[in-house]
Amino acid sequence: MSIRAYFPGRDSDTPEDSSDLTTTERGLLYAALGLVTLLVVFPFYWMVSTSLKTGQEVTQFPPTLILDSPSLVPYVDALANGMWVRWFVNTVIVSAGATVLVVVVATPAAYALSRREIPGARLFLMLFLSTLMVPTQALVLPLFVLFADLGIVNTHVGLILCYAMLFTGFAIFLLYGFFNSLPNNLEEAARVGGIPEWKVFLRVILPLTKPGIATAAIFVFVFSWNEFLFALVFMQDSPMYTISVGLATFFGNRGSVVLNQLMAVSILAVIPVLLLFAFSQDRFIKGISGGFDD
């Protein structure tokens, strides 16, 4: 049964359907959509506008909707403050590191499970998928104890390993779907062609996997960038904080004087992932809806 049938709307391939709607109907729908968009966008606007305020304007009541004198001072102050920069760097290191590790671990696994009929493949797949269900929070405690023993609490490596644990399952799932969509007798052709297994993977299949890997990488990077609990627990000293932890700690102190700076930093924290998203929208959306049908 097509899910489409259940929704009033139209298939973008059949233009004549748009005549189904009366002008009033159309108008109402557009208005509703406009309202929704406004509600979604407003918080962003508010974040930006606060970040451009200075002095009294920041906390006065009632707050100004339109700015008196927008200024970039909060941004300058924020960037001049070595702390914020340091935290950004930490976040980049950890996110990039996690991305690399996850891709390296998940890609071969997804390949073997998807394209080669290993006995037990289904079992393994179920296993990896089940890791997505575990309330990972609960693991913070024993992992903390373990890492403390290993001496990797409060290090980039420690957090990267945590993120690898958190996100590899998802990456495997994503890549599994992608591998399934590749033509299915490429390996056969290579194997009967005398190509050794490792070469089949590295030289034949992997080059074709770039889009899938890119998608997985983007997701893992964004997930790592936004993650909070593990960063909070595992990064104990101020210099090691990630940007999320830094923001939360600062905010906890509720020093309203720096609210504009806080907003500025928040914007800066959002920009990288926003850019990533902007450049790879299709990938992102495709990855979520699980569609890799080529």
Partner 1 sequence: MKVELTDLTKKFDDLVAVNGISLTVKDGEFLTLVGPSGCGKSTILRCVTGLEVPTSGRILFDGKEVTDQQPQERGIAMVFQNYALYPHMTARRNMSFALEDGGLSKAEIESRISETAEMLGIGDHLDQTPEELSGGQKQRVALGRSLVRNPDIILMDEPLSNLDAKLRIELRAELQKIHQELETTTVYVTHDQEEAMTMSDRIVVLNDGEIQQVSSPEAAYNRPKNRFVADFIGSPGMNFVPCRLEGETIRGGPFSFGLPDAAEGTPTEIGIRPEDISLSDRDESDGPVGEVNVFEHIGPYNIVYLEVADVGEIVAQIPASRYFDIGQSVSISVRNNRIHLFDEAGRAIYNPPLPSDADAERPTTSR
Partner 2 sequence: MIATIRDRVLDVLTDSGRISLKLYLYVVPALLLYAVFMLYPLVELFLLSFQEFSLGGSNEWVGLANYQNVLSDPVFWQAAQNTFVYGVVGITVPVVLGLVIAAILNVDAPGSTTVRSIIFTPQIVPIVVAGILFVWIFNNNGILNSVLVGTGVVDSKIRWLSSPVLALPVVLLMVIWKRTGYYMVIVLAGLQSIPDEVYDAAKVQGKSRWQTFRHVTVPMARSALVIVVVLGIINAVKSFASVFVMTEGGPGHATEILGTYFYKQTFAFFNYGEGAAIGFIQFLIVLVLTTAFFYVEGEFNVN
At closest approach, how far in Å is the CB of 209 from partner 1?
10
Q: Which two tokens stand for residue 285?
A: 């959306």
| Minimum separation from the CB atom of position 187 to partner 1 (A) | 9
Site string for partner 2, 87-116 (x = CB under 8 A): -----------------xxx-xx-xxx--x
**Is residue 197 within the footprint of partner 2 (CB under 8 A)?**
yes
Stretch in the footprint of partner 2 (CB under 8 A) among 28-36, 66-74, 81-89, 207-215: 28-36
For the CB of residue 199, give the shortest distance to partner 1 in the complex, in Å: 8
Quick one: which of 82, 119, 183, 252 contacts partner 1 (CB under 8 A)?
183
Is the distance from CB of 213 to CB of 175 less than 8 angstroms? Answer: yes
CA distances from residue 22 to 19, 38, 284 in whole angstroms, order as listed? 7, 24, 34
Nearer to partner 1 by Cβ, of 203 and 254: the residue is: 203
Q: Are 277 and 127 in contact (CB under 8 A)?
A: no
Long-range contacts of 78-87 (CB under 8 A, 24+ apart): 78/261, 78/264, 78/265, 78/268, 79/268, 81/261, 83/238, 83/246, 84/243, 84/246, 84/265, 84/268, 86/239, 87/241, 87/242, 87/243, 87/245, 87/246
Residues 205-244 contacting partner 1, CB under 8 A: 207-208
Site for partner 2 in 206-245 (CB under 8 A): 222, 225-226, 228-229, 233, 243-245
Query: How far is C-alpha 233 from the geometric centre of its chain's CA atoms?
Result: 20
> Please, which residue, 152 or 206, has the CB nearer to partner 1?
206
Interacting residues of 240 by C-beta distance below 8 A, sequence separation 6+:
90, 154, 155, 156
By the rule CB under 8 A, 62 interacts with partner 1: no
**Residue 120 interacting with partner 1 (CB under 8 A):** no
Of 38-46, 97-105, 182-190, 283-291: span binding partner 1 (CB under 8 A): 182-190
Of the candidate residues 67, 85, 204, 268, the single one contacting partner 1 (CB under 8 A): 204
**Beta carbons within 8 Å of 200's beta carbon, 6+ residues apart:** 187, 190, 191
Buried b / exposed e over 12-22, threshold 16 CB at 10 Å, is: eeeeeeeeeee
By CB under 8 A, tell whether 196 contacts partner 1. yes
The residues of the shown chain that bind partner 1, judged by CB under 8 A, are 183, 185-186, 188-197, 199, 203-204, 207-208
